[in-house]
Amino acid sequence: NAGVTQTPKFQVLKTGQSMTLQCAQDMNHEYMSWYRQDPGMGLRLIHYSVGAGITDQGEVPNGYNVSRSTTEDFPLRLLSAAPSQTSVYFCASRTSLSSYEQYFGPGTRLTVT
């Protein structure tokens, strides 16, 4: 198993540009989520999904969209990037909402200029 994979590893955007951060898992996990990590802030939940076709907002959803058309994939879209979205983004998955063992991807470091 590859576990949780994320692409790209690094990305630089100009303000106003859009892009999609890709996340995939091959463990047949129902629950997937996106976090952003900023210095001194820990990890903050952006959006999550409890299964294909179901998504919900986390703690800091503004400026981000998600969709979950398959169990494996959970892309995160930035429609109009802003410097405040400069961060490291982590995708994570776990077996189900009631499972507490969550696996993280390697992260995407995004810089918005």
Partner 1 sequence: GQQLNQSPQSMFIQEGEDVSMNCTSSSIFNTWLWYKQDPGEGPVLLIALYKAGELTSNGRLTAQFGITRKDSFLNISASIPSDVGIYFCAGIQGAQKLVFGQGTRLTINP
Decide: is 40 part of the binding site for partner 1 (CB under 8 A): yes
Give CA–CA dist 24/83, Å, rounded: 26
Decide: is 4 part of the binding site for partner 1 (CB under 8 A): yes
- Residue 103 beta carbon to partner 1: minimum distance, rounded to whole angstroms: 8
- Residue 101 beta carbon to partner 1: minimum distance, rounded to whole angstroms: 6
Give CA–CA dist 3/87, Å, rounded: 22
Which residues lie below 8 Å from residue 51, measured CB to CB, with a gap of 6+? 30, 31, 68, 71
Decide: is 58 part of the binding site for partner 1 (CB under 8 A): yes
Decide: is 107 part of the binding site for partner 1 (CB under 8 A): yes
Decide: is 1 part of the binding site for partner 1 (CB under 8 A): no
- Site residues for partner 1 per CB under 8 A: 4, 35, 40-45, 48, 58-59, 90, 92, 97-98, 100-107
